[in-house]
Structure 1
């Protein structure tokens, strides 16, 4: 059938000429062959969402169906690469058209000419089922790429290629199913981005994603396979916080999705990630990172598709048994793309002009996170961390409120903390984590049975400080009892010496859990040791005069991550300072 353009409204194109187009079909639009997707069918009129700039299209130009849903090619070559919102490699696009990208470029996701040293793991006669690994190759020095039998396919191997060097399109094995149909399996496979990849079993979340950021790992942890939101106003540090998580979290693979971000921020991320070494292997971090860039000046429709592109890639590596962290920056600009396209489609707007299905789209995205047992029987996970950019820092707006319904960790950034140079600027009074009970057994076993109790005491001191500060604003701090002054001073030590973290300091940029626990122990030891002295009417000012509070605030810079035994020296310093005050008042 032949289809032609009837009307053009920004990225929304109306097509007439037949009834053969189906919902979600990929199409090529116009003489330039722009990539689009069918989003509405009514009689012989079809509505297409175009993922490229539609300037220059005119009615009467042809539209060609590709006969399949919007899909991407998955295989070796995704890592250490940067793609646009519909998984076209930006480096290759720049080579073809220069820095100002042409439209309608038909560029494969994976390099068709690159050869991979492949080990074929099966032989003729082997029985395979969905999820079984039939070949593998070293994708980077850090990650081994494992090729799995696609879901819904099983049978007997009737041909297996020998080990050797292959491209992503070369046939590796032939699998004959029960009906006698022969299926050719290669290094690469295709998958529709809007369809979640199947799993064997959804497992309960039982271990944290270790980030090395104290306020996250200690106060508001996120479980591996969980979902978190980072909302905050402009300049509060959402992107920098996500950069820190991408650099230091203990995920095997990072998928960083710049959705509607400024181009200079994506450039900064690319440059930083290219220069940074993975702390575990001392290899370039890009060897386990995939960047998807759909900057604010790129077509708005591709921004809507980019989150599904990133999630599909994350699920693909999850199925191999890897733990993947997906950073989406930001879901607000993705929601704005939904709003613009919805307006072009003349749909009924809901709150603040967003479409009525905003909540369900957010749910579809965040619900694809999870800790799973794969079809092969391995354990893998996708952890989703989505930034939210509410206008004016208003957390009551629809995107933030709907996101809170589907995530269990909420790291609310505070403009006042950011302007006060307190980073990460996560507000400990408005943030929360619902994973605490799930993760407690892991912390008890892997760190210390006292870890969660110390965390609760730290959190209680911060809450008490907030209440006391209201009193201080009215009557001043001098009239407070000495015990309450101790609470304020300890909370200040917690804020400055524990929660505040310097991303540019070699020691402080990443802190292992053992050191975080020891820092809490030292702070609480000072608090517990000072209370008996205050009960004897000894003023807090005498304890402060020893310099012990100032000394503890520098622990984060003075104790290297690999020498936790040095904390015993601080415990001894606390005992000596308190003993000095005690003896002076006898």
Structure 2
């Protein structure tokens, strides 16, 4: 290592002079306390350094050492169920080393190097392996954690071991063109560079979230991108928690980027108590947490999302489906704005850097469905869902607009719905999903043959409801025809009996696709029958609204998914009740 010295200090930005061989994005150790930083700009003999720890108290003239390597994260067994800060340090180990408060200059290994793992080889001595091939695995919290050949390494295996070893023990030696390569269970990867893959595919399978407004109306595909913008208190974090708890992803990477510490505390308290419906194990066992909350160093927010996506790519390369939640990208963009301002760059809209959109695109484009490296050619995916926190709910601000140009799914949160206790508070008139058509084939084959038709009819009713309610506000409900009153009643059913969910009710907090399709089918069949009897058999609209089956439809969300027959039976009950009403009308006539 070679040394330069500090020339200027401006908050998290330090300008150093005369660092020999300085390169952009090299990591450096700043001052006598060895604070971790990263070179983000070089001008002549001066290097601007983004310091990821508190810089108060350090002075001009202190040394700066370059490590001549980019900011990287260590990847290997021990990631699951762990909590890291924005630059990949294990916060549990941090607390054991320094106490409950962050102490700057402390360097903590992100992975436990003392634990022993039962290594099971998958290849034999003498086998030729390529980048991405699995030489073995260890069982980590019920998940097969594959030990893979690093990218750009290939050769012939020998000295293959089996048994219990630490992550730093040599488990395989490869004869390569450049000599012997000693493989351990851990590898390091620069966080700003995407991990390689063979090819990327268009997403074709939905990420099942169990949230009816999302799965039915605005689905996100595995390997897709989505954003959740909304004002304070509208439920962005609640939506992301629900997706992390109930989605059918095999690994969850949850990034708390600049949000309040109590929200991460909720995750830490809740996730170990919740059972993953797929494995029966605690949800925390398949989760990796990245925490850089609002009272932690601002500069590290910028690195936290890159750290999270790199860990997600590592599990994707094992062939797993990964869901990554970023809460929130607005706080990440604010870190970019602060560093850009300190670098005295020309500001863009509202002071954000002019390259905000391209930086966001760099992150979101690392999501997707890919054929991973290795002879198995398996598919893995990363689904990225970013929360956006526009000030005052103003969706025209730069971060929201830049995000909307990139992502394919937009879940617009509405504070009015949240105040009405309608959760998830996703506005069905403002939101959209561009995966509808690509997922229709999957829906027809695996969910319901008329699923797309049912969804379109329901959405048409919700849009028509807005027009009718404007008429009601102007001239009153009496001006509506019976058919229009029926439309309002069915739209109310869709809103309250289908879209609204209770996160504290076991049968309602998660709904399978089969149950969603059945519920929507029952509502739309009831609408078709009511419209027919209203027009042809002159049944009163008041009698239809007060039918017994209307109450039963409102309760079908609480029927367990395994009892779909009871939900489907409501169609026959409705028909019988309509016939009884018709008989009463005929008898009266």
1:18, CA displacement in angstroms? 3.7
Q: In 1, Cα distance between the equivalents of 2:399 and 2:578?
A: 51
What are the equivalent positions in structure 2 for 1:88-237 lying under 5 Å apart? 88-141=89-142, 143-157=143-157, 159-178=158-177, 180-237=178-235
**Match in the other structure for 1:238:** 236
Kindly provide the CA deviation profile for residues 222-261 of structure 1, in whole angstroms up to 9, marking residues without a partner as x: 0000000000000000001100000000000000000001
1:449, CA displacement in angstroms? 1.2
TM normalised by structure 1 equals 0.98
1:101, CA displacement in angstroms? 1.2
**Match in the other structure for 2:7:** 6
- The answer to whether 1:414 aligns with 2:414 is yes
Q: Is the 8 A contact 2:518 2:568 kept in 1?
A: no
**Match in the other structure for 2:287:** 289
Q: Is the 8 A contact 1:208 1:221 kept in 2?
A: yes
Kindly provide the CA deviation profile for residues 252-310 of structure 1, in whole angstroms up to 9, marking residues without a partner as x: 00000000010011101111111111112211111100111000011011000000000
Kindly provide the CA deviation profile for residues 500-527 of structure 1, in whole angstroms up to 9, marking residues without a partner as x: 0011101100000110011011101110
Q: Give unmatched runs, 5+ long, in structure 2.
A: none
What are the equivalent positions in structure 2 for 1:269-348 lying under 5 Å apart? 269-348=267-346
Q: Is the 8 A contact 2:83 2:290 kept in 1?
A: yes
- The answer to whether 1:363 aligns with 2:361 is yes
**Alignment equivalent of 1:252, drawn from 228, 250, 253:** 250
TM normalised by structure 2 equals 0.98
Q: Is the 8 A contact 2:5 2:19 kept in 1?
A: no
Q: In 1, Cα distance between the equivalents of 2:318 and 2:101?
A: 36
Kindly provide the CA deviation profile for residues 105-125 of structure 1, in whole angstroms up to 9, marking residues without a partner as x: 111110111111101223332
Q: In 2, Cα distance between the equivalents of 1:282 and 1:478?
A: 54
- Runs of 4+ off more than 4 Å: none
Q: 3-state SS of the aligned residue for 2:272?
A: helix
Q: In 1, Cα distance between the equivalents of 2:569 and 2:453?
A: 23
1:96, CA displacement in angstroms? 1.2
**Match in the other structure for 1:32:** 33
**Match in the other structure for 1:431:** 431
Q: RMSD between aligned alpha carbons?
A: 1.0
Q: Is the 8 A contact 1:462 1:491 kept in 2?
A: yes
1:583, CA displacement in angstroms? 1.2
Q: Is the 8 A contact 1:120 1:162 kept in 2?
A: yes
Q: Is the 8 A contact 1:19 1:43 kept in 2?
A: no
Q: 3-state SS of the aligned residue for 1:526?
A: helix
Q: Give unmatched runs, 5+ long, in structure 1.
A: none
Q: 3-state SS of the aligned residue for 1:562?
A: helix
Q: Is the 8 A contact 2:458 2:494 kept in 1?
A: yes
Q: In 1, Cα distance between the equivalents of 2:351 and 2:341?
A: 8
What are the equivalent positions in structure 2 for 1:492-507 lying under 5 Å apart? 492-507=492-507
1:153, CA displacement in angstroms? 1.4
Q: 3-state SS of the aligned residue for 1:504?
A: coil
1:49, CA displacement in angstroms? 0.3
